[in-house]
Structure 1
Amino acid sequence: MSDCGCDKARAELEEYLRNEICTTDAKDIRDHLATCEGCQSELHIGVVLTQTVQRACKETAPEELRDQLLARLREVQTY
């Protein structure tokens, strides 16, 4: 991704955050981020969003709610 600018860095940001990008492209993005405050802000938003989603995926519903939901689903399936 030589000559990495904002458009290219932002287009590849999600893959960069998940380490799903080749080493050369990752270096280009890192180099760009080192000097671009706008893209640094985008990166920060991406990091916070990713961490929030990861935490939410680890949470479990209370057992009472789970039981109520399953009971309601069974009701709906019988119609």
Structure 2
Amino acid sequence: MNDHAHGSEPSTAECADFLEQIVYFLDNELDDADCAAVRAHLDTCNPCLERYDLQRTVKAVVARSCSEVAPAELRAKVLVRLTEVRISTELG
């Protein structure tokens, strides 16, 4: 394993493994040992830390957006359009 704290570049394979785990880390789906390994890697690897920060930000924005309710007028327009598309598909 590379020692990132002393300036050596992380290996592509090593980072790929951690980048896959970041999604599970963000969702609190890793056991304690895996969480500790991901935290240790993020502490020593700036590229992975930047990707983690980006994914965390995107996840927060999506979560916030999902709690918003569309205005009634927009909702009605979307429902009408969906009905039109469904009818068009059934007749086509």
TM-score bracket for this pair, using the shorter chain length: 0.7 to 0.9
Question: Which residue does the alignment assign to 1:42?
Answer: 51
Report how many residues are paired: 76
Question: Which residue does the alignment assign to 1:24?
Answer: 33
Distance (whole Å) between structure 1 residues aligned to residue 48 and residue 83 of structure 2: 48
Distance (whole Å) between structure 2 residues aligned to residue 77 and residue 47 of structure 1: 37
Calculate the TM-score normalised by the size of structure 2.
0.70
- The DSSP-based 3-state class of the residue aligned with 2:70 is coil
Amino acid at match of 1:52: V
Calculate the TM-score normalised by the size of structure 1.
0.80
How much identity, in percent, do the aligned residues show?
33
Q: Structure 1 residue aligned with 2:23, among 14, 17, 33?
A: 14
Deviations along 1:9-49, whole A, 9 cap, x unmatched?
11111001111111111100101111111111011111111
Distance (whole Å) between structure 1 residues aligned to residue 31 and residue 82 of structure 2: 44
Distance (whole Å) between structure 1 residues aligned to residue 45 and residue 54 of structure 2: 14
Amino acid at match of 1:19: N
How far did 1:55 drift? 1.3
CA RMSD of aligned residues (A): 1.7
> Which has more radius of gyration?
2
